[in-house]
Structure 1
Amino acid sequence: MARDAELLLCPVNLRHLETNTRAYDEAVAMARRRGARLIVATVAPEIERNLNIYNSEVYWSQQLAKFLAENPADGVEVETVVRKGAIHRQIVKLADERKVDVIVMDSANPKVQDYLLGTTASHVVTHAECSVYVVRG
């Protein structure tokens, strides 16, 4: 039985994209090389700090669509996903649910540059059932 195309997951923190898109760029390049499909996901907070955001799932879906329009993944089949909750848990949960082959993610929040591996990346590396490719920012 033939195996479907490999599936990659790239979580993006839309609050920090102005400083770094390395993990996304690497995920797109990896998907092209491997002929893989790519899930680009973002995790919205349970409670928005910005009171102007009435429906966070709609808002973050629009922001993710805008990001992809500005950073096209030509030649790669891309699916978007917006989740709510704790970022580290939602990444692992999504990867498990979708049987992702590889997670491609940033090593740390760009504001925490003193750490080799941030808390989110550390949790994902420890708990994901699949391989995790950590991109140093």
Structure 2
Amino acid sequence: MFKTILVPIDPAEPAFSKDALDKARQFSRDYDAKVLLLAVCPEVQSFVTSQLPEGFQEHELEETRTMLNGLRDKLDLGGSVVQVEARIGAVDAEVLEFAARHAVDLIVMTSHKPGFSTYFVGSHAAHIVRHAPCSVMVLRGD
């Protein structure tokens, strides 16, 4: 049923993705599917980068890759089954582009319960659900 499963990971809250990772592990085992872990670090505006240490974004990407590799190892699915990628950009756009480029069958993600601000601004999960090129499973976090 599912051959390629994408789990977007918030680099600021990797533990929040536990339920999505557990579900992806289950689907991977049930359907012999590949799991892709993607973390998107927000792009720092140029006027802010002048105040940050040299190489800040590169260091952030390296730390994010290390975190993703740790999550990959905890999934215990085998190195060739789980792939990781860290990017810099807008979360929604990067997740949607990644899903389309890798022919993802299912995106499994967690989302915070909607709050007052969600109704005016919109959440990343809502945008991804509306525009994804595949099925999306959204799990509600605590």
TM-score by length of 1: 0.79
Higher helix share: 2
CA RMSD of aligned residues (A): 2.5
Structure-to-structure mapping, 1:68-83, within 5 angstroms:
68-69=72-73, 71-74=74-77, 77-83=81-87
Structure 1: runs of 5 or more not aligned: none
Report what 1:7 is aligned to: 4
1:28 paired to 2:31: no
Select which of 93, 96, 101 maps to 2:100: 96
How many pairs does the alignment contain? 127
Q: CA deviation at 1:67?
A: 3.0
Which letter does structure 2 place at the counterpart of 1:126? R
Aligned-partner Cα distance in 2 for 1:102–1:19: 19
Q: CA deviation at 1:107?
A: 2.2
Max Rg structure: 2
For residues 48-71 of structure 1, the C-alpha deviation after alignment (integer angstroms, 9 at most, x for no partner) is 98x4672132221122113333x2
Contact 2:40 2:90 in 1 (8 A): yes
Identity percentage of aligned residues: 29
Which letter does structure 1 place at the counterpart of 2:8? P
Structure 2: runs of 5 or more not aligned: none
1:127 paired to 2:124: no
> Is the partner of 1:21 in helix, strand or coil?
helix
Aligned-partner Cα distance in 2 for 1:104–1:130: 11
Q: CA deviation at 1:20?
A: 4.9
Q: CA deviation at 1:19?
A: 4.6
Contact 2:21 2:75 in 1 (8 A): no
Report what 1:37 is aligned to: 34
Aligned-partner Cα distance in 2 for 1:95–1:128: 8
Contact 2:39 2:85 in 1 (8 A): yes
Contact 1:12 1:24 in 2 (8 A): no
TM-score by length of 2: 0.76
